[in-house]
């Protein structure tokens, strides 16, 4: 099962749970679920880079780009309530030139990267 999980989850307990989950599946279902784990593991690793790096300046900059109602709600909650939100963390990383797509492409296999791109395109609203 280990060979199915590259990139692996950086936390051993979660990696082991993934291995056990895959082992319990019928063999025909393993590739699909392993790919989902790999995509999730890569995203988790990206978000980990923001630990301790999100600043109040990042928060204020992020607020400027939000729709008004969302901005007001986030301002009301304040920086501390938002500092661990995934969109703010991604915003902070991208302000430091650590882009999500570039990171995923660097860590995923070419096949998983292509699949990720297909998923992203299928979720993008068409005008």
Q: What is the DSSP string of 75-95?
A: HHHHHHHHTT-HHHHHHHHHH
Predicted confidence (pLDDT) at residue 125 exceeds the cutoff of 90: no
Q: Which pLDDT tens digit goes with each residue over 61-108?
A: 999 999 999 999 999 999 999 999 999 999 999 999 999 999 999 999
Taking alpha carbons only, the member of 39, 44, 37 closest to residue 89 is 44
pLDDT value at residue 3: 86
What average pLDDT is seen over the chain? 93
Enter the pTM of the model.
0.84
pLDDT at 50: 87
Answer whether 59's CB lies under 8 Å from 88's CB.
Answer: yes
Classify the C-alpha dihedral 70-93-126-41 as positive or negative. negative
Residue with tokens 């999500």: 100
Phi, psi of 83 (to 5 degrees): -60, -25
Residues 6 or more apart whose CB falls under 8 angstroms from that of 22 comprise: 1, 4, 5, 30, 33, 34, 37
Instruction: Give the separation between CA 51 and CA 68, rounded to whole angstroms.
Output: 27
What percentage of the chain reaches a pLDDT higher than 90?
85
Q: Is the pLDDT of residue 12 over 80?
A: yes
CB contact at 8 A, 22 and 34: yes
Please say if the pLDDT value at position 23 is more than 80: yes
Q: Is residue 51's pLDDT more than 90?
A: no
């Amino acid at each position: 099962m280990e060979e199915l999980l590259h990139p692996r989850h950086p936390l051993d307990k979660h990696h082991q749970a993934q291995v056990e989950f895959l082992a319990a599946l019928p063999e025909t279902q393993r590739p699909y679920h392993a790919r989902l784990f790999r995509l999730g593991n890569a995203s988790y690793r990206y978000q980990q880079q923001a630990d301790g790096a999100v600043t109040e300046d990042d928060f204020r900059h992020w607020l400027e780009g939000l729709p008004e109602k969302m901005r007001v709600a986030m301002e009301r909650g304040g920086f501390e309530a938002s500092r661990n939100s995934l969109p703010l963390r991604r915003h902070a990383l991208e302000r430091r030139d650590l882009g999500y797509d570039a990171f995923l492409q660097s860590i995923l296999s070419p096949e998983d990267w292509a699949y990720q791109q297909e998923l992203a395109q299928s979720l993008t609203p068409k005008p």
